[in-house]
């Protein structure tokens, strides 16, 4: 089941691009942060927004080379899914 879930998530990201990947990862992180049984909508939106804005800020200011936001969000989210 876990392998099928990872393959389906990979196909979704490959088809839609790396930014919608945030929609797959943010509710899972929010569930763990607020310790709820179901994915909280407001917390998931806030986590997604913080992830994208944080990745954009890091790519523009901290790194010596400006990278696309999708590269950083994938670099943060991929280890979480693994």
Q: What is the pLDDT of residue 18?
A: 66
Q: What is the pLDDT of residue 64?
A: 86
Q: What is the pLDDT of residue 29?
A: 86
Q: What is the pLDDT of residue 36?
A: 83
Q: What is the pLDDT of residue 1?
A: 92
Q: Which structural domain, as residue segments, surrounds residue 64? A: 2-81
Q: What is the pTM of this model?
A: 0.68
Q: What is the pLDDT of residue 42?
A: 92
| Cβ atoms < 10 Å from Cβ of 36 | 11
Q: What total of structural domains would you count in the chain?
A: 1
**pLDDT under 50: residue ranges of the chain:** none
Q: Nearest to residue 49, comparing CAs of 73, 80, 33? A: 73
């Amino acid at each position: 089941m876990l392998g099928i879930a990872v393959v389906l998530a990979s196909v979704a990201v490959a088809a839609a691009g790396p930014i919608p990947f945030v929609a797959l990862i943010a509710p899972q992180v929010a569930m763990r942060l607020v310790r709820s049984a179901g994915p909280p909508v407001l917390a998931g939106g806030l986590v997604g927004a913080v992830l994208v804005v944080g990745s954009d800020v890091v790519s523009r200011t901290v790194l010596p080379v400006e990278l696309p936001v999708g590269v950083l969000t994938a670099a943060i989210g991929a280890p979480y899914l693994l």
